Amino acid sequence: MTIYYLFGLGVLVYLLNGFKNLLSSFQFFKNESRLRDLNLNLGMTSNNFKIIILIPVLREQEVIATNLEIFSHLNGDYELIYITTEKENFEKKSGLSILESRKNSLLQIRSKDSFVETLVGIFPKSLASDLFEGKAQFLDIKKYWNYIVESYNNLPTTEKIITEYLQKNKFDNVQLINFPSENGVMAHQLNYACNQISLTHDPKQTFILVYNADSTVDKDILRVFVQAIQKGEKVMLQSSLFLSNYNTFSLNFRGWILKCIALAQSRWTFIHELARVRAQYKQNWHTIYESAHVVGHGTCIRLDTLMSVGGFPHKFVNEDFALGYFLALKGERIYSIPILENAESPTSISSVITQYTTWFYGVMDYFLYYKYAVNELSLNSFRALSYSIINSIRALMWLLAPWVWLGLIIIPLFFGRPLLSFFSLLIFLFFTIFVYWLIANFVSKNPQVLGKEKFSIRIEKGMIFVAPIAYIIWGIGPTRSLMQKIWSRISGRALQKKKTER
């Protein structure tokens, strides 16, 4: 049991460090929000730089109308560009065959949640829910199925919804461009837009600000970015919590799991993302080899700085980890914006697994980033290798975390130490539920960190019992991602990145 005790001690030290990072992040936002309130009248004066918001979209019928209303009515001087892709039209054709393949299972489903989850990636959630409710109107099952197929065929593309909105509302600063390819990922859409922007704007005076279709921001968010730009920042990141749809989840087994997942994602932002970004920004002697990723939403970067690393990395499955890695190697500091975005969390278990599978693609590829940084960008090879090793170790820790906890709780039972198992379980619950409660309490008492006057969430008692299950689900994605990576190498087939539905 000596090895067990040493390993357990290491885990405890790791947890305490995470707890320290959590409290440090809380204090950072409290302090910065007070400073922000004192400077509300600054940062919106006439500037010689331009902020251009880019929102790449793919199958966003569920949320795009809300997004248009939010981002077309921000305060400040900015341009807004939506980037659709021909890939959506191509995938709609193949989506019909996927729908047909699920016909038998769909027609037998009796639960609305299961029905909606089966249609993830085919129908928007609200429409899938309506289709389930509409089943009662049909006595003939064939007519009901024809109704489903007809609804799919009549589903407007995201491009059509945006076009109709812009035709009704004449905006001088909002436009739509379409990436003319059936292939590619989000980075291709962004680079396509950036290339067009560089033809008409000075890259040294142009800042690209990226958001997602489900992003929700305060009307004055640009003021915060402008203040940072005026201070000389070239790369900024607005981190996200994932709690905007937290209160919509049902108070049942499935809903409790989804609530735990939402808080687990938000915990990662506070404990890991923010801690690394702030450490990388300080660039002290003990953080000189700290790199931080810049997520695909909430990133604001000067166009010439972006172009210096080849634009948004498109040769990798995910662009955010690689971009942060390259920027850190070039010595660019990433400034943490002192206000959080409140994004949505996945609304189905399958979407949770898909999301974490996709995210883990990025953290597995640091040695590919290393090769690209050295061979293509001519960046410092020693630092590049150091960053790769550090971040690969972190990826391994994420991959093994659920199974380490399982071992810490179960192994003592084989040695007749049930109290040790119970103690490990208590530490696990502290690491999950108590930290979740701290986050819920913090955002409820400090809604200004989300740019809101009021926001409140609470921990349900049932979440205590499902927390271990939610944590294991959280670990399925990375394991699945690794297996897909191995199979990709064996079969010679490229990884196919699935769109995460939130």
pTM equals 0.88
What residue type is assigned to position 315 of the chain?
K
Cβ 71 vs Cβ 82: under 8 Å: no
The predicted structure's pLDDT at residue 34: 56
Burial class (CB in 10 A: 0-12, 13-18, 19+), 14: middle
List Cβ neighbours of 347 (8 Å cut-off, separation of 6 or more): 116, 125, 245, 249, 258, 501, 502
**CA atoms of 162 and 171, how far apart (whole Å):** 12
The predicted structure's pLDDT at residue 319: 75
Q: What is the pLDDT along the chain (502 residues), one digit of tens a residue?
A: 778 888 888 888 989 999 999 999 999 988 876 555 545 454 455 578 999 999 999 999 988 999 999 999 999 999 999 999 999 988 888 888 889 999 888 888 888 878 888 888 888 888 998 999 988 888 888 999 999 999 999 999 999 999 999 999 989 999 999 999 988 889 999 999 999 999 999 999 999 999 999 888 889 999 999 999 999 999 999 999 999 899 999 899 989 999 999 999 999 999 999 988 888 888 766 556 666 777 778 999 999 999 999 999 988 877 778 898 899 888 899 999 989 998 888 888 888 888 889 888 888 889 999 999 999 999 989 989 988 998 899 889 889 888 888 899 999 998 888 999 999 999 888 888 999 999 999 999 999 888 888 899 999 989 988 988 888 888 888 999 999 888 888 887 777 666 655 5
Architecture of domain 45-232: Alpha-Beta Complex (3.90)
Q: Is 160 left (phi over 0), alpha (psi -120 to 50) or beta?
A: alpha
Give the residue from 277, 295, 219, 266 showing the smallest Cα distance to 443: 266
Tokens of 475: 């670990």
Report domain extents, the chain.
Answer: 1-43+233-491, 45-232
